[in-house]
A and B are shown apart, each in its own frame.
Chain A
Amino acid sequence: MAAAGRSNEPLVSIQDLTVQFRTDRGWTTAVEGVSFDIGDGDCVGVVGESGSGKSVTALSMLRLHARGTSRFPTGRVLHAGRDLLTAPERELRRIRGGDIAMVFQDPMSSLNPVLTICDQISETLRLHQGMSRPDARRRAIELLDLVRIADAPRRVDEYPHRLSGGMRQRVMIAIAIACRPRLLIADEPTTALDVTIQAQILELLRDLRAELGMAVMLISHDLGVIAEFARRVIVMYAGRVVEDAPVEVLFRKPLHPYTEGLMASMPSLDGADTATLYSIPGRIPDPDETIAGCRFGPRCSYAEPACSAVPPELVSVDGGHRVRCPPRTRTVTPTATGARQ
Chain B
Amino acid sequence: MTAPLTNTAPTDPIVAMRDVDMAFAAGRVDGRPVVQQVLHKVSFEIGAGETLGLVGESGSGKSTAGRIVVGLYEPTGGSVTLFGQPITGPDRRANLANVRSRLQFVFQDPHAALNPRMRVGSSIAEPIEIAGRHSRKDRDDRVRQLLEMVGLPRDSADRFPHEFSGGQRQRIVIARALALEPGFVVCDEPVSALDVSMQAQIINLLMDLQARFGLSYLFIAHDLAVVRAISHRVAVLYAGSIVEVAPKPDLYARPQHPYTRALLDAVPRPDPWRERPPVIAGEVPSLLAPPPGCRFHTRCPHVMPRCRVDVPRLQSTGPGRLTACHLFDEGGIAAVPDHSSRPASHVER
- Name the contact of B197 in the complex, choosing from A199, A226, A247, A265 (C-beta under 8 A): A265
Of A83-91, A117-125, A133-141, A275-283, the stretch lying at the interface with chain B is A275-283
Find out whether the CB atom of B270 lies under 8 angstroms from the CB atom of A227: yes
- Name the contact of B203 in the complex, choosing from A223, A268, A277 (C-beta under 8 A): A277
Query: A284 to chain B: which residues have CB within 8 Å?
Result: 165, 195, 197
Interface check B5, CB cutoff 8 A: no
Find out whether the CB atom of B283 lies under 8 angstroms from the CB atom of A164: yes
Query: B58 to chain A: which residues have CB within 8 Å?
Result: 165, 194
Interface check B280, CB cutoff 8 A: yes
What is the bound-complex CA distance between A276 and B229, given in angstroms?
A: 8
Within 8 A of A (CB), among B209-267: 222-226, 228-229, 248-249, 252, 262-267
Tell me whether A202 and B268 are in contact in the complex, defined as CB-CB below 8 angstroms, given that A228-B276, A267-B200 are known contacts: yes
Find out whether the CB atom of A267 lies under 8 angstroms from the CB atom of B225: yes
- Across the A-B interface, how many residue pairs have beta carbons closer than 8 Å? 128
Query: A265 to chain B: which residues have CB within 8 Å?
Result: 196-197, 199-200
What is the bound-complex CA distance between A275 and B228, given in angstroms?
A: 11
CB distance from A54 to the nearest CB of B (A): 12
Find out whether the CB atom of A280 lies under 8 angstroms from the CB atom of B269: no
Interface check B207, CB cutoff 8 A: yes
What is the bound-complex CA distance between A268 and B281, given in angstroms?
A: 25
Find out whether the CB atom of A221 lies under 8 angstroms from the CB atom of B268: no
* Interface size of A as a range: 35 or more
Find out whether the CB atom of A228 lies under 8 angstroms from the CB atom of B200: no
Interface check B109, CB cutoff 8 A: no
Find out whether the CB atom of A267 lies under 8 angstroms from the CB atom of B284: no
Among B200, B249, B273, B348, max chain A CB count under 10 A is at B200
Tell me whether A224 and B165 are in contact in the complex, defined as CB-CB below 8 angstroms, given that A196-B280, A269-B224, A284-B195 are known contacts: no
Tell me whether A49 and B196 are in contact in the complex, defined as CB-CB below 8 angstroms, given that A267-B203, A269-B228 are known contacts: yes
Mask for A181-210, Cβ within 8 A of B = 1, else 0?
Answer: 000000000000011111110110000000
Mask for A223-257, Cβ within 8 A of B = 1, else 0?
Answer: 11111110000000000000000011001000000
Find out whether the CB atom of B167 lies under 8 angstroms from the CB atom of A283: yes
- Name the contact of A267 in the complex, choosing from B198, B222, B228, B268 (C-beta under 8 A): B228
Query: B168 to chain A: which residues have CB within 8 Å?
Result: 283
Question: Interface residues of A: mostly helix, strand, loop or mixed?
Answer: helix
Mask for B279-308, Cβ within 8 A of A = 1, else 0?
Answer: 111011000000000000000000000000
Looking across the interface, which residue of chain B has its beta carbon closest to that of A258?
Answer: B197
Query: A197 to chain B: which residues have CB within 8 Å?
Result: 57, 283
What is the bound-complex CA distance between A55 and B229, given in angstroms?
A: 29
Tell me whether A200 and B279 are in contact in the complex, defined as CB-CB below 8 angstroms, given that A194-B284, A261-B197, A269-B225 are known contacts: yes
Looking across the interface, which residue of chain A has its beta carbon closest to that of B198?
Answer: A283
Query: A58 to chain B: which residues have CB within 8 Å?
Result: none
Query: B228 to chain A: which residues have CB within 8 Å?
Result: 267-269, 273
Find out whether the CB atom of B201 lies under 8 angstroms from the CB atom of A279: yes
Query: A166 to chain B: which residues have CB within 8 Å?
Result: 283
Interface check B271, CB cutoff 8 A: yes
CB distance from B193 to the nearest CB of A (A): 10
What is the bound-complex CA distance between A16 and B317, given in angstroms?
A: 60
What is the bound-complex CA distance between A269 and B224, given in angstroms?
A: 7
Within 8 A of A (CB), among B331-349: 348-349
Tell me whether A279 and B200 are in contact in the complex, defined as CB-CB below 8 angstroms, given that A267-B229, A269-B252 are known contacts: yes
Interface check B274, CB cutoff 8 A: yes
Interface check B153, CB cutoff 8 A: no
Find out whether the CB atom of A203 lies under 8 angstroms from the CB atom of B197: no
25 A-B Cβ contacts within 8 A? A49-B197, A194-B58, A195-B266, A198-B266, A199-B279, A200-B281, A223-B196, A227-B269, A227-B270, A227-B271, A227-B272, A227-B274, A247-B272, A248-B273, A265-B200, A267-B200, A267-B226, A269-B224, A269-B269, A273-B249, A273-B348, A277-B199, A279-B204, A283-B165, A283-B198
The 7 A-B pairs of least Cβ separation, nearest first, read: A224-B268, A279-B200, A194-B57, A49-B195, A277-B200, A267-B225, A199-B266
Residues of A within 8 A of B (CB): 49-50, 164-167, 194-200, 202-203, 221-229, 247-248, 251, 261-263, 265-270, 273, 275-280, 283-284
